[in-house]
Amino acid sequence: MSSELRVEQLRKVFTTGKPPVAKAAVDDVSFTIAAGEIVVLLGPSGCGKTTTLRCVAGLEHPTSGRIVIGGTMYTDPQAGVLVPPRSRNLGMVFQSYAVWPHMTVRQNVAYPLKARGTPRAELNKAVAQALDLVELGSYADRPVTQLSGGQMQRVALARSMVYQPQILLLDEPLSNLDAQLRLRLRDDLRRIIKRVGLTALYVTHDQTEAVVLGDRIGVMRDGKLLQLDTPSEIYNRPADLFVAGFTGASNVIDGTVVSRDGAFGVIAVGANERLTARLGDGVSEGSAVKVALRPDNVGLSPVGDGPNRFKVRVASRHYQGTQTVYELTLAGATIEALEVGSAARHDVDSEIVVALPPEICWAYAV
Ligand SMILES: Nc1ncnc2c1ncn2[C@@H]1O[C@H](COP(=O)(O)OP(=O)(O)OP(=O)(O)O)[C@@H](O)[C@H]1O
Ligand SMILES: [Mg+2]
């Protein structure tokens, strides 16, 4: 039975060093995952993803906050509630292939059910189903040491799902695999989790993984959850400059807001140019802003008239086979533009016109 997960005002402070310094690894994080939903926590190294996950698992005792699973309180340090990990009925998959090397594939997957005293007939059925799900049915009697990394990770996944946990927790489960396998297993993972209908909390620093796997993505930085939204919202309406940058909007243009009209505004950029952009919260006339946009959103061959047309110079060109990255000089800034396809159409030092659609230019207060 998959359950809803509620994390409320979670805070975990670690005290380290001499003299001791207290630092919040998780700082007032709240979110809810609906039953059967996959939420991915995304953020740079050290932002508090694993600590959040370990608090949900009961492996870490938070400083304050509450964790409610399926309507039952599992963690509430203020009230002295801390249900131990083994009593939470959660599945866990980690970066390292945590399989038991002296066992076969079947024995590994059967282990959690044995430990729970599941009757043999039921156990056999559940193990066979779990192995089918991860497409390892024909490997059941192999020692796990004779498997590839990807296969071992699928054993770990089958083992963490075989007892129908309330929630599946995954901490960078693909990061030890080579690039090709990572892509395959990434797609498989979502399909498998969805087929079983599990509630999943998945942690990664890989933005593509987050987009492919998550129903929603939570972007973290310095222990804080900055935005929790669908992949499309995160990519099209990043809440702040960090979320924009971390999800690939690497171009930043400085400017000052000249006027605001609803969600959009006109921004003075460069020597004497005007850019229309979507304005973030707290941005008003006279505000200094940074405008972020994605290299793949720079329109390189616009047709006809439209807003935000700029004459730019091609400063450099990096041909990458299936795409070309250009550096363009625009309003005193250097921005990157991406051209998809094997033909590079623009020459270095040429002057071209680009279009920056206002809805994908996001202005944030500095
Ligand atoms: N046991 C601990 N004692 C002291 N500090 C810790 C401990 N565990 C984590 N931290 C600190 O808490 C912060 C968050 O760590 P955490 O492991 O949650 O990050 P993460 O987002 O999972 O990073 P990564 O992507 O590198 O795995 C870091 O600054 C880390 O150094
Ligand atoms: Mg981690």
Domain limit, last residue, from 210, 241, 272: 241
Is ligand 1 within 6 A of the CB of residue 204? no
Regarding whether 287 and 168 lie in a shared domain, the answer is no
Place of tokens 């059941």: 140
Nearest CA, atom 27, ligand 1: 45
Is ligand 1 within 6 A of the CB of residue 54? no
Contact 120, 190 (CB under 8 A): no
Domain limit, last residue, from 192, 224, 241: 241
How far, in Å, is the centroid of ligand 1 from the Cα of 332? 39
Regarding whether 168 and 51 lie in a shared domain, the answer is yes
% of the chain at pLDDT higher than 70: 100
Q: How far apart are CA 333 and CA 253, in angstroms?
A: 6
Domain limit, last residue, from 173, 208, 241: 241
Regarding whether 46 and 182 lie in a shared domain, the answer is yes
β-strand pairing of 38-42 with 199-204: parallel
Regarding whether 127 and 224 lie in a shared domain, the answer is yes
Nearest CA, atom 17, ligand 1: 50
Regarding whether 234 and 275 lie in a shared domain, the answer is no
Regarding whether 169 and 288 lie in a shared domain, the answer is no
Model pLDDT, residue 71: 95
Contact 310, 302 (CB under 8 A): no
Is ligand 1 within 6 A of the CB of residue 328? no
Contact 242, 42 (CB under 8 A): no
pLDDT tens column, 35-75: 999 999 999 999 999 999 999 999 999 999 999 999 999 99
How far, in Å, is the centroid of ligand 2 from the Cα of 270? 41
Q: How far apart are CA 346 and CA 352, in angstroms?
A: 8
Regarding whether 324 and 253 lie in a shared domain, the answer is yes
- pLDDT bracket for residue 184 (50, 70, 90): confident
Is ligand 1 within 6 A of the CB of residue 247? no
- Residue 15 maps to which CATH number? 3.40.50.300
Ligand nearest to the CA of 44: 1
pLDDT tens column, 324-355: 999 999 988 999 999 999 999 999 999 999 99
Regarding whether 175 and 109 lie in a shared domain, the answer is yes
pLDDT over threshold 90, residue 109: yes
Q: Which are the contacts of 284, defined by CB distance < 8 A and separation ≥ 6?
A: 257, 260
Q: How far apart are CA 177 and CA 158, in angstroms?
A: 17
Beta bridge partners of 293: 251
Q: How far apart are CA 157 and CA 201, in angstroms?
A: 14
Is ligand 1 within 6 A of the CB of residue 41? no
Q: How confident is the model over 177-191, as a mean pLDDT? A: 86
**Domain extent for 326:** 249-365
Domain count of the fold of the chain? 2
Q: How far apart are CA 200 and CA 5, in angstroms?
A: 9
Model pLDDT, residue 14: 96
Model pLDDT, residue 91: 92
Nearest CA, atom 18, ligand 1: 48
Regarding whether 199 and 326 lie in a shared domain, the answer is no
Query: Nearest to residue 136, comparing CAs of 112, 114, 108?
Result: 108
Q: How far apart are CA 275 and CA 268, in angstroms?
A: 6
Three-state DSSP class for 97?
A: coil
pLDDT tens column, 142-166: 999 998 888 888 899 899 999 999 9
- Residue 265 maps to which CATH number? 2.40.50.140
At 122, list the tokens.
């039921």
Model pLDDT, residue 149: 83
Give the single-character DSSP code of 45: T
Q: How confident is the model over 67-88, as a mean pLDDT? A: 96
